[in-house]
Structure 1
Amino acid sequence: MESSSIGKVPIRERTFLTAEWRYLAMLNYEFDPEILRPYVPMGTELDSWDGKTYVSMVAFLFQKTRVRGLAIPFHENFEEINLRFYVRRKGPEGWRRGVVFIAEIVPRFAIAAVARLFYNENYVALPTRHKLDLTKPNPTTDYEWRFQGCWNRIHLKTEGSAQLVEEGALEEFITEHYWGYAAQKNGGCVEYRVEHPKWRVWQAEEALLECSVKGLYGEKFVPFLNAKPSSAFLAEGSEVTVYGGRRI
């Protein structure tokens, strides 16, 4: 029996995946909610912060990955790049704040296949690479993925020191959604819980997205993701646990 960190409600769950998520570059864009409504899974509704709807480009390192306790050779450490937005669902303990993925990019086909099989998540396998400069107090990160013969990139240069996010801040809204929701082919929805401690973040001095937005996500995403992000920061990350999903 695991105990949920959301409202301390006991939920019988089985661990699906454990890993470390490290150095999460997060570029956050204010979006027209009407663009996102077709992607909202059944049983959930769009979540907002300060009356605004956000979509995030997120790139990070998956490390020490275990699926149901087992390490899969050559699939333990890799990059992931995803485009996500935020929803909520009313549970017995109150609102469950969650994320929905428009698309998730990983470097190996087997990783994408497992995620599609168990959650019907929108994973795609593309070549990826990264560069981290951690020699200074202000880390610099570059995450890249190759699509249609061109390298796309998220670049983030930080400033200041890493700090725990303030309660009620946009950074808290972005980082502290502890549920995932995935629409199913039959019109239903799968809900799963993600557990991790609060993260420290560095604010961004520079943030850059170079991306084939139309080809990867569709033309309607172009004007939003080609604009300057509303906010950008680097989250330190931590160990995480992803629990098995259930239909709602």
Structure 2
Amino acid sequence: MNLNLKNKLVLVTGSTAGIGKSVARGFLEEGAEVVINSRSQEQVEVTVNELKPFGKVYGVAADLSNPNATAQLIAQVSQIGHVDILINNVGYFEAKPFEQVTDDEWFYLFNLNVMSGVRLTRVLLPKMLEQNWGRVIFVASETGVKPMPDMIHYSVTKTAIIGLSRALAELTKGTKVTVNSVLPASTWTKGMEIYLNKIAHNTGLEVEELTTAYFSQGDGKNSLLQRFLTPQEVTDVILFLCSVKASAINGVAQRVEGGLLRSIL
């Protein structure tokens, strides 16, 4: 299927690993030009070199929890060209008891997971509207509609992203610009592997045992896939939503969670 993404300029935040890196590569393979981002200059340089064989890729290091660094990212990207597609992917998750999460941790998570997307979209969306074409995707999570008690602060940021995405879509009425969010379930990434290894170390269990328990007894028991998603499965949905084929899909919270959410709406 031709997604007509050739020569589009795409900014993917948090794209040196996991879903973000997979999405960046996917756009490159479709002929788009991609700006990748991470707070680490070293990681950006390594990833740019790794992705170069797939297409025209740029890298900008910036800590998007910081508004000044975000402004610098916007300035550098503007030197490259007009952003046609914005993928607000950057985010951080952790499991921590609610009563132990400090105000500073709440503010940090909101600055990174939510406000990074607010700041970038505030600048880039009006330019898309002027051009009468553009795509904005917020990578949320199934926890945004099914909050996890051991990740309340993370879950709340994802709920905020879903609401933000829908509200921004209202600003695109009558144009060829769309704003959507994507709700993946647990996806097997390096971050997930590190997270599970940490739990395994603390509990004395093997990662395989934790995975089995998650899908048989834990939050994953309603999953119809009964496995973790792959980054490619999430990427494929995001690429479609950014294509001309998805011109009638706007303001939606698109699930990519393998039937984990047991509801028809």
Instruction: Please indicate, yes or no, whether the TM-score normalized by the shorter chain is above 0.5.
Output: no
Normalised by the size of structure 2, how large is the TM-score?
A: 0.26
The structure whose Rg is larger is: 2
Normalised by the size of structure 1, how large is the TM-score?
A: 0.27
| Greater helix fraction, Structure 1 or Structure 2 | 2
| Greater strand fraction, Structure 1 or Structure 2 | 1
Which structure is richer in relative contact order (CA contacts within 8 A, separation 6 or more)?
A: 1
